């Protein structure tokens, strides 16, 4: 799956302000915060199984399952992978889906590696050949394409889908008229996560005498469960600053803000 370059969830200036860093902060402290910011944003994307920021994606489906990929583990009920309900439903990877640019089927497409594959003349027509399952115009939390009066190709890489998914900058800032599009809790959860991890790392590396665990916004979540789905987390020792940066934790308060954006079996909660 290809997409446009990944953008930051929050700015460095916002992190500096949110963490309450004084103007006298050293270059070393700023460097720590920059490293923590990057690792925490990656952790948030991994937690939500999403690129989050609105981008255009090109995806070749169906594809073979990768047992090391969490997306594949939680979608193992789809057979063949990404196709369900007798072959009429095609599951896209990135959520929420905002619009479909094009869908093309070609049994010899070979995931876009056949130079003659996926001719424009084979593009399907939205609303006639398939439709996107939506909650309201311009928003699909399921990311499912439903084939009309037909079934999707079962050959690996025989369906090319170009689509737009994720949230706009205004939506992530809560600057929207429609409350359903307010995704500002993602930014707040990200800032809280950065703040908690920076506090721990700064306390360790600065030898300030502060208790790094006490500064982690109420402790760490060791495991979570929702119905039959559960996940456990392994955390580095609190005395290892590099370990915290390499494996950042999401504190409970931040996890609460992020909870409604988490995905179970391909759906946004």
Whether 115 has a pLDDT exceeding 70, the answer reads yes
CB 162 within 8 A of CB 116: no
Average pLDDT over residues 127-152: 95
Which residues lie closer than 8 Å to 264 by C-beta, 6 or more apart? 74, 226, 227, 229
Mean pLDDT of 252-256: 95
Query: Could you give the residue ranges of the DSSP H alpha helices within 136-183?
Result: 169-172
- Determine what percent of the chain is predicted with pLDDT higher than 70: 74
Least confident of 79-88, 213-222, 239-248: 213-222
- List, for residues 163-185, the tens digit of each pLDDT value: 999 999 999 999 999 999 999 99
Determine the average pLDDT of the residues in 235-242. 55
Report pLDDT digits (tens) over 181-198: 999 999 999 999 999 999
Q: Please report how the helices 27-48 and 184-206 are oriented relative to each other, as an axis angle in degrees rounded to 10.
A: 140
Cis peptide before 109 (omega within 30 of 0): no
Mean pLDDT over all residues of the chain?
82
Model pLDDT, residue 237: 45
What is the spatial distance between Cα 170 and Cα 162, in angstroms, rounded to a whole number? 23
Q: What is the pLDDT of residues 32-80, one digit of tens each?
A: 899 999 999 999 999 999 999 999 999 999 987 655 555 555 444 444 4
Mean pLDDT of 227-251: 65
* Cβ atoms of residues 191 and 250 within 8 Å: no
* Residue closest to 89 by CA, chosen among 133, 56, 58: 133
Q: Estimate to the nearest angstrom the gap between the alpha carbon of 111 and the chain centroid.
A: 23
Q: What are phi and psi of 165, to 5 degrees?
A: -140, 155
Tell me the average pLDDT across 234-255: 75
88-92, 100-104, 228-232, range with the lowest pLDDT: 228-232
CA angle 257, 218, 253 (to 5 degrees): 5
Taking the C-alpha atoms of residue 209 and residue 221, their distance in angstroms, rounded to an integer, is 24
Choose among 80, 49, 86: nearest CA to 158: 80
Residue 217 has pLDDT above 50, yes or no: no
**3-28 pLDDT, tens per residue?**
555 689 999 999 999 998 877 788 88
Report in angstroms the alpha-carbon separations of 254 from 20, 47, 194, 258: 17, 11, 10, 6
What does the domain layout of the chain look like in residue ranges? 16-50+173-268, 55-165
- Cα separation of 103 and 261, whole Å? 26
Cβ 64 vs Cβ 75: under 8 Å: no
Structure tokens at 211: 């208790």
Sequential DSSP letters for 28-62: HHHHHHHHHHHHHHHHHHHHHTS--B-EEEEEEES
- Which helix (H) or strand (E) segment holds residue 184: the answer is helix 184-206
pTM tops 0.85, yes or no? no
Q: Report the pLDDT value the prediction gives residue 1, as an integer from 0 to 100.
A: 63
Radius of gyration over alpha carbons of the chain, in Å? Answer: 21
């Amino acid at each position: 799956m290809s997409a446009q370059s990944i953008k930051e969830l929050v700015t460095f200036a916002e992190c500096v302000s949110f963490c309450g860093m004084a103007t006298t902060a050293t270059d070393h402290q700023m460097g720590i915060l920059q490293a923590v910011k990057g690792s925490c944003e990656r952790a948030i994307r991994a937690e939500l199984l999403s690129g989050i920021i609105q981008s255009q994606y090109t995806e070749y489906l169906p594809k073979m399952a990768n047992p090391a990929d969490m997306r594949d583990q939680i979608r193992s009920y789809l057979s063949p992978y990404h196709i369900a309900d007798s072959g009429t439903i095609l599951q896209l990877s990135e959520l929420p889906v905002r619009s479909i640019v094009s869908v093309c089927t070609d049994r010899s497409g070979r995931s876009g590696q056949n130079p003659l594959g996926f001719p424009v003349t084979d593009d399907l027509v939205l609303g006639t050949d398939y439709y996107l399952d939506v909650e309201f115009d311009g928003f699909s939390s399921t990311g499912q394409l439903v084939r009309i009066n037909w079934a999707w190709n079962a050959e690996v890489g025989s369906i090319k889908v170009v689509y737009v998914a994720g949230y706009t900058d205004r939506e992530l800032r809560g600057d929207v008229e429609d409350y359903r599009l307010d995704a500002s809790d993602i930014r707040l959860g990200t800032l809280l996560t950065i703040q908690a991890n920076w506090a721990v790392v700064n306390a360790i590396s600065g030898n300030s005498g502060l208790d790094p665990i006490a500064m982690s916004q109420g402790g760490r979540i060791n495991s979570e469960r929702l119905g039959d789905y559960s996940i456990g987390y392994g955390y580095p020792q609190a005395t290892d600053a590099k370990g915290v940066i390499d494996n950042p934790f999401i504190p409970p308060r931040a996890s609460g803000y992020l909870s409604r954006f988490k995905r179970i079996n391909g759906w946004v909660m």
